[in-house]
Amino acid sequence: MDAFPLPIVDHHAHLRPGPAGLEAVRRFEQQGGTHLFLATQNYLDHPPLSVEEYREQFDRTLAIARSVEESTRVRVFPVLAPYPVDLVHLVGQRPLAEAEGIQIDALRLAGQYVSEGKAVALGEVGRAHFPVDEAVRLSLERVLRSAMATAKEVHCPLVLHTGDLDEAGYLELAEMGRREGLPLMQLVKHYARAYLPPLSRHGVIPSFLSRREVVRGALSDPGPWFLETDYLDDPARPGAVLALDTVPRRAAWVRSLETGPDLVERLRIPFVDSPRKIYGLDLERP
């Protein structure tokens, strides 16, 4: 079969240092994958306890990105921020105000990396995806507002970590961004597990999990939207979320459908148009 006519982009994945992650990227490439948005993650056995530990984490993410690009033809775009659930776990070791301050300072540090061209977005930021104490919930909301302010300051997208959203949830985030002066085109909902039509998303950009039923719904969507695996290279959680080669396999599946090449062209939205509109990236093959 001829080469796929578009770049193939996984908008959100995590990798750890070492051969397992690199081998996953090689499988992604072998299936036709060309571009990867690499979200940072904690590489320690405890939540980062200081801004310096976050600096070490971010630098390690950049080193992983370099290693991938040196070993494959896949282009990597780092996305950096303190993970919101870090605050939840840190509260047991630090007073809440101190834990919140570490998150906010780490967000400012991530913003510096974006300003220096080392990362393309702030993420993941947002809320815990499980119940937390009210004081912790309010702290997470303050950190989220700070993240929005930082994204506005450095003019970059904000990749959101939340629970599943219905229309009311999308509207709440859109209104929060509006209050903070952040353009809606800078709010990206990572790990969107169900398809909701554009009017139900109130301007927030979805990054759809690349399951067949979700992709099928998204193909008629005018965009912007993305596809992702949220691949997690974690030996303690084998098989977590989707395999890294899922997005190229979904692209091949779309190509195999009986409706013909016009349907493949719909994938221009997540693979070309949306990266250009949201990130200012031109990923089109020459």
β-pairing, 35-39 vs 9-14, is: parallel
- pLDDT score, position 3: 86
The pLDDT mean for the chain works out to 95
- pLDDT score, position 33: 98
Chain-centre distance for alpha carbon 1: 31
β-pairing, 231-232 vs 187-192, is: unpaired
Which pTM does this prediction carry?
A: 0.96
- pLDDT score, position 284: 85
**Which CATH fold topology does 9-279 show?**
TIM Barrel (3.20.20)
Higher-pLDDT residue of 275, 233:
275
User: Does the pLDDT at position 110 exceed 90?
Assistant: yes
Instruction: Please state the domain extents for the chain.
Output: 9-279
CB atoms within 10 A of CB 178: 15
User: Does the pLDDT at position 151 exceed 60?
Assistant: yes
- pLDDT score, position 286: 47
**CA Rg value for the chain:** 18
Higher-pLDDT residue of 285, 36:
36
Q: What is the pLDDT of residues 122-141, one digit of tens each?
A: 999 999 989 999 999 999 99
Q: Which residues contact 112 (CB under 8 A, 6 or more apart)?
A: none
Of the candidates 20, 18, 4, 7, which has an alpha carbon nearest to the alpha carbon of residue 231? Answer: 20
Q: What is the pLDDT of residues 50-108, one digit of tens each?
A: 999 999 999 999 999 999 999 999 999 999 999 999 999 999 889 999 999 999 999 99
Q: What is the pLDDT of residues 214-248, one digit of tens each?
A: 999 999 999 999 999 999 987 776 667 899 999 99
- Residue 187 sits at the vertex; the CA angle it makes with 180 and 150, to the nearest 5 degrees, is 50
